Every structure is written in C-alpha cells, then in structure tokens.
Structure 1
Amino acid sequence: MSFNLNHLEFIAFASLWTIGLSAIAFVGGSIVGFGVALARISQHQWVRYVAATYIQLVQGTPLLILLFLIYFGVAIFGFNQVPAILAAGLGLTIYSSGFLAEIWRGCLESVPRTQWEAAECLALTDWQRMQKVILPQAMRIATAPTVGFLVQIIKNTSLASVVGFVELAQAGKIINNSIFEPFTIFVVVACFYFAICYPLSLWSRSLERKLNVGRR
C-alpha cells in the first residue's frame, strides 16, 4: 500500500487537533500569563518574587518533562491517568503562560515611565491606568513576539504524542509505521505545518502595519 487520499484525510484531521490543542494552550496560557505578567510588575515585592519563581520554574523545565509529570504525576494524588487531551492542554497551557508572562512583562515595562506618571496625574485608578493608557501601548510592542510564540506553540504540539495525543506529527508517524514512506509522508506533514503557521506570520505583519509598528 502506498500513500493515498485516506492517509491525507487522516493527516488533515490530525491537523485540526493540532490547531485545537494550540488554541487551548494559547488561550489558557494568555489568561494565566497575563495575570503572572501583572504580578511581575506589582508594587509588592513578595508578589513579584512568586511570579518570577513561577516563570523560572516553567522556563527551566522541558515541555516533555512537564507533560510526563502531569500525565503520570496525578496518580500520586490518587487519581487515574488523565485523558491525553487534558494532559496535553494543561501542560502546554502552563508552558505557554511562563513564556507569555515574560514577553508581556517586558512589553509593559517598555512603555515609557512618563506615560505611567501621566496616568497617575490624571487620578486614574490602577486598573484604569492599565486599561486606558498602558495596555494599548504595550499591545503594539507585544504583537510580533506574541504571534511568533504562537507559531512556536503550534510546533511544540508535536511533543503531545508522548502522552498518547494524536496530533499532526504523530499522525505522520502512525502512517509511516504502516506504509514506510517517510519522505513522502513527512513532506506532506511539513506542508500542513507551513499552511498553519505561515498565515499567522502574515497576520502578524498586517497587525504591525495597522498598529504603526512594522516598517512600511
């Protein structure tokens, strides 16, 4: 048997799972990461310390180990092994939050200090200052690195196969184990990855132009 439309359909279906898992990781990581980023610039030293420790732990732990710990570690607490989608989603969410938090912390702190002081002079509350003055400016700076990291998340979903999740790369491996045509199969897999990631890069450039960040 050689590579055929059934195999192509299987890879296409797996690419949807890759997109779904990436969306879970990015949305979840964004929510947690934004909170951690705010904690990193908190006025309270102990809050900054806890947030910095979380980021160092996440960034210093390989994603592969993180996935193993979540998938097999829950048994220590008396639970059965979690479903593969849940373990992969949680692991990638934690991983994403650590990196997004540091990216956004840098973007928030790159807003000129005079902007923070001007907002204080307007007697805005902390949240109003962040929402109306700081975040709009930080978003312009954060656009490119955030979308760039989203592409990285998509590629890192290939590690989810270690907990039994069938995503795009794993689908290629499964097909190759049955028909032994690695070059053809993984060229197709690479094309699917490119088809997912390249539009994101174009979207990032478009956003940069709209926000007057990118070069014209």
Structure 2
Amino acid sequence: MIEFTFGQILEALLLAARWTVLLSLVSFVAGGAVGLVLLVMRVSSSRALRALVRVYIEVFQGTPLLLQLFIVFFGLPLVGIDVSPWVAATLGLTFFTSAYLAEIWRGCVEAVPKGQWEASASLAMNYFEQLRHVILPQAARIAVAPTVGFGVQAIKDTALVSIIGFSELAKAGAEISNATFKPFLVYGLVALIYFALCYPLTRYARTLQRTLYGAR
C-alpha cells in the first residue's frame, strides 16, 4: 500500500477531472454539430434522408454506449485505422451524443406550431430560410432544458471511456483506490467532483427556464 495524503489524492483527482471536462466539451460540441445536421435531414421533406437519419438514431440509441466505444476502439484497427483512446472516446461519444440531441431537437421543432411553417412559406422563404429565421429560434427556447439535462448526462457518460484505457476522473479514481486501499475516501471525492461539475449546469438550466418561460 502506498501512503498518500488527502491533499495529494484530491490533487490527482482534480488533474484527471480536467480530461473529463475537456472530453465532455469536445464530444458535446461535436455531437451538437452533427446532431444539428441530422436534425435538418430528419425534418426535411425527403423520405430517403428521414429514413437514413432514423436508422442512425435507432442504432446509436438502441445499443449501449460501452459497446459503441468497443467497436470504435477495437474495430477500426481491424480495417487498418489505428486510433488512440482519446480519439476513440471522442468519436464514440460524438456519435452517441449526436443521435440523442438530434431526436431531442426534433421534438422541439415539432413542438413549434405548424402555422409557423405555413406563415413563413407564405413569405416565399425556402426550407432553410424557414428553419434559420422562424423555426429554429422558437425551437431553441423549448430545447434549453432538455439539452442542458442531456449535457449533465454526457458528463457522467465519460466515466465509461475508462474501459478503453482513457485516463479520466473515473479511471484515475480506480487507480488511486487500488494504490491506497481507501475506496470510500477516493470514490467519495470522485462523486463530489462529478456533482460539482453537474450541479451548476442544472442550476443554470433552471435559471434559463425562468428567464425564457417565466417559470418559478
């Protein structure tokens, strides 16, 4: 057993938490960008595009994230594409996040009254102009709470990438716990750090809800 002080354990966990934050941001931003493209395809008038996106969403929502990470990390080298744990984690989380965000945002778009589409069409707007100037601004207000809520889930999902060797907060906690034989202390600190990362987002979502909707 290696003796570590409380300060050393906390410092090591906080250093590892930087990678959790970075991975969460990169995967959420990239997943949001892909999800926005999927959304435009999902609500388009093309049956082929809608069907393609529907299959994509069902595949990534219908299979465990852990399995998706395994396929990216171990499957790509089989076809000659070597990926690092960082790249595999980013790709896996991006695909997973984009599928859920596209579906969340589709629901928000469909919540916009159909009359808004008809009114914008009467102004001779094309499909993309309707989305950009009329539909998406209204859908964005509805999407705030579920998007931030999923962002909290995305932070917690990063713990799964430890299984492919990426050293983030959960993996660092396991390694330190094995070295110190202090699982209650170490995992308690890990839980507190995750809470410190997620709680401000939930509070921010409530603040936005009050600002946008006047909710109490």
- Cα distance in 1 between the residues matched to 2:121 and 2:58: 31
Partner of 1:69 in structure 2? 71
- Cα deviation for residue 2 of structure 1 reads 4.5
SS in 2 for 1:211: helix
Alignment partner of 1:5 is 2:4:
no
Amino acid corresponding to residue 122 of structure 1 in structure 2: L
- Cα distance in 2 between the residues matched to 1:145 and 1:193: 19
Quick check: 47-56 or 31-40, which moved more?
31-40
Q: For structure 1, which runs of at least 5 residues remain unmatched after alignment? A: none
Residue by residue over 1:122-158, the C-alpha shift from the partner in whole angstroms, topping out at 9 and shown as x without a partner, is 1122222111111111011100000000000000000
- Cα distance in 2 between the residues matched to 1:35 and 1:148: 21
Report sequence identity in percent.
Answer: 48
Partner of 2:206 in structure 1? 205
For residue 25 of structure 1, the aligned residue among 24, 27, 30 is: 27
- Cα deviation for residue 195 of structure 1 reads 0.6
Amino acid corresponding to residue 102 of structure 1 in structure 2: E
Partner of 2:101 in structure 1? 100
Structure 1 outlier segments of 4+, above 3 Å: none
Tell me the TM-score normalized by structure 2.
0.96
Partner of 1:78 in structure 2? 80
Q: Report how many aligned residue pairs link the two structures.
A: 214
- Cα distance in 2 between the residues matched to 1:151 and 1:145: 10
Partner of 2:126 in structure 1? 125
Matches within 5 A, 1:59-208: 59-80=61-82, 82-208=83-209
- Cα deviation for residue 206 of structure 1 reads 1.5
- Cα distance in 1 between the residues matched to 2:29 and 2:49: 23
Amino acid corresponding to residue 165 of structure 1 in structure 2: F
CA contact (8 A) 1:108 1:134 kept: yes
Quick check: 121-130 or 63-72, which moved more?
121-130
Tell me the TM-score normalized by structure 1.
0.96
SS in 2 for 1:124: coil
- Cα distance in 2 between the residues matched to 1:96 and 1:148: 12
